[in-house]
């Protein structure tokens, strides 16, 4: 597996090797030792999640507050999505900036989204099956987020506004300026 830092270096693209022939393919989708060696710290995934969505479904922007912050390793099993991570670490040189990467089933690339980031995605294909590992359990009382289309962030979701499908929760999120943020000086991995 190859690891590539994005324009926000803590967000990492994970490129698997895919071995294919007339029978199909084989790929290693996760290696704890290799990821931790690249990151320089431990990540202990404890929960796997999966969703299936249709074109225009936007899920985000979400994150969990301490002590239930989460890192995620996200991938697409079927279809294509635009995956977005936003730095929520006040004091970071990248605070309020985003990384947007297309993930698809064909190339198998994954995105590692560390603690201290909000995360969301939108489906670009007819349908998409999205899977991700989390290094902390879902805690509904600590779940939070901000409005997906906040003008200060200028995220291009690549789907016309009229085609977006959102949950009621995501339609009612606060603007980014009112979102709870993390302190860059606090270790989110304790």
Q: For the chain, how are helix, strand and coil distributed in percent, rounded to 5?
A: 10, 45, 45
Catalytic residue among 63, 94, 119, 132: 132
CA 62, CA 49: separation in Å to the nearest integer? 14
The bridge status of strand 58-64 relative to strand 143-145 is antiparallel
Active site residue 22: no
Tokens linked to 158: 């690549």
Examine the residue annotation and report whether 94 is marked as an active-site residue of this protein: no
CA-CA distances (angstroms) from residue 95 to 89, 117, 135, 137, 184?
6, 9, 22, 25, 9
**Catalytic pick from 62, 94, 119, 148?**
62
- Active-site residues, by number, are 62, 132
């Amino acid at each position: 597996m190859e690891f590539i830092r994005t324009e926000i270096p803590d967000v990492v693209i994970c490129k698997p090797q895919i071995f294919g022939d007339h029978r199909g393919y084989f790929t290693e989708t996760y290696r704890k030792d290799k990821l931790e060696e690249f990151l320089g710290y431990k990540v202990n995934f404890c929960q796997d999640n999966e969703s299936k969505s249709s074109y225009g479904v936007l899920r985000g922007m979400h994150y969990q507050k301490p002590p239930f912050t989460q890192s995620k390793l996200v991938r697409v099993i079927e279809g294509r999505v635009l995956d977005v991570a936003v730095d929520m670490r006040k004091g970071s040189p990248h605070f309020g900036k985003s990384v947007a990467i297309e993930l698809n089933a064909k190339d198998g690339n994954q995105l590692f989204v560390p603690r201290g980031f909000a995360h969301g995605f939108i489906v670009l294909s007819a349908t998409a099956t999205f899977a991700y590992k989390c290094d902390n359990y879902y805690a509904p009382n600590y779940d939070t987020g901000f409005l997906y289309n906040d003008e200060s962030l200028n995220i291009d979701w690549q789907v016309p506004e009229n085609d977006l499908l959102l949950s009621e929760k995501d339609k009612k999120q606060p603007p980014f300026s009112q979102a709870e943020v993390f302190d860059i000086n606090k270790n989110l991995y304790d």
